[in-house]
Structure 1
Amino acid sequence: MHRPNIKAQRLTALFILGAALFNYPLLALFNRPDWVFGVPILYAYVFTAWLLLIALLALVIEKK
């Protein structure tokens, strides 16, 4: 019996998560004139989500 590649499935799930995080409805929630630690909240959200995706990708790719 052929076992599906779990790493490919996790990478696909991360792609879908990234597409959802950077899609219009979520970006519109953070597009306000507020500031977080001196940074506009939209920029803080985008860079935090980007950092989260990079960390999750590294975890999936490096895990044996």
Structure 2
Amino acid sequence: MNESRREARTHARLIALICLAVLFFSPPLVLIFDRPAAQGLSWLPLYLFVIWLIVIGLAAWLMEHRQEDS
């Protein structure tokens, strides 16, 4: 029973991570960072790279944490 509870918790966390990624990559939020800065460059590439790095890092941490529990 404890194992199934851990699996359910991990599954719920992965679904929450997917929802967070969809929120961060939604067009209204992405358009906020698509505006030019003072130097004329857009912050969009940096925003996309950092958010993608965070999503991959969290997914890796969740999956590694899952492996340790088993």
- For normalisation by structure 2, the TM-score amounts to 0.76
- Compute the RMSD of aligned alpha carbons: 2.1
In the alignment, the residues of structure 1 paired with residue 28 and residue 11 of structure 2 have an alpha-carbon distance, to the nearest angstrom, of 27
Name the residue aligned to 2:20.
Answer: 17
Higher strand share: 1
Aligned pairs, number = 62
Name the residue aligned to 1:41.
Answer: 43
- For normalisation by structure 1, the TM-score amounts to 0.83
After superposing on structure 2, the runs of 4+ consecutive aligned residues of structure 1 that deviate more than 4 Å are none
Unaligned runs of 5+ in 2: none
Q: Which has the higher contact order (CA 8 A, sep 6+)?
A: 1
Unaligned runs of 5+ in 1: none
Query: Which has the higher Rg, Structure 1 or Structure 2?
Result: 2
